[in-house]
Structure 1
Amino acid sequence: MTSVNETWFELDDRGVLYAIKTVRRTEDVARVAQAFTATTAALNARAGGPTQRAGSSAPATLASGAFQQATSEYRFRDYRAVIRATNMGDGYVLTESYTTFN
């Protein structure tokens, strides 16, 4: 699960980039769980532990039903990152959202 299926760039009124969002899709629960773990580990190494965490990225938990989700949020005074692994019912999605605040 290395390729990004979709990417969004958000600009403010002045045309300044303030957010990047990516979505990766797979039908393999183990792949989305591993990608969630790798992404959050990289953020933990660079930014410290998450400020909020919810759900479990364990494959058995994510596979247990539609809309099961694991979330890690990293919030700072001028920056927010949110990583989510979600069971969509017909596959799995890893979303990453990185936002700066001016």
Structure 2
Amino acid sequence: MPEIVACSTNESFIILRSVGVTVYVDNDLKNVEEHIAKYASSDSKIIIYDAVSEAYVQTLLEKYEESMYPIFLKLPSGLKHEDTLSELKLLVEKSIGISII
């Protein structure tokens, strides 16, 4: 299994292939969630997802809470229902402990 994967219903995630990320894109949210679960139970280290899958990933976070891997990384996709800048600001703040944006 790949170490870094991205799963989404958003086709813009395909750009991540250019930096070596294995990407799964499907219009069916159920299929995306199944792939997230498959990668989480395998040797994948980082799983990138977007707001559409957030509720499902929250259930997985509880399951893998005590494990070092996988790391779940929410990537703001810039869709109309998201405030991308505030999402990025919050993610950076959580990662490094201070707000730099």
TM-score normalized by the length of structure 1: 0.32
Higher strand proportion, which one? 1
Higher relative contact order (CA 8 A, sep 6+): 1
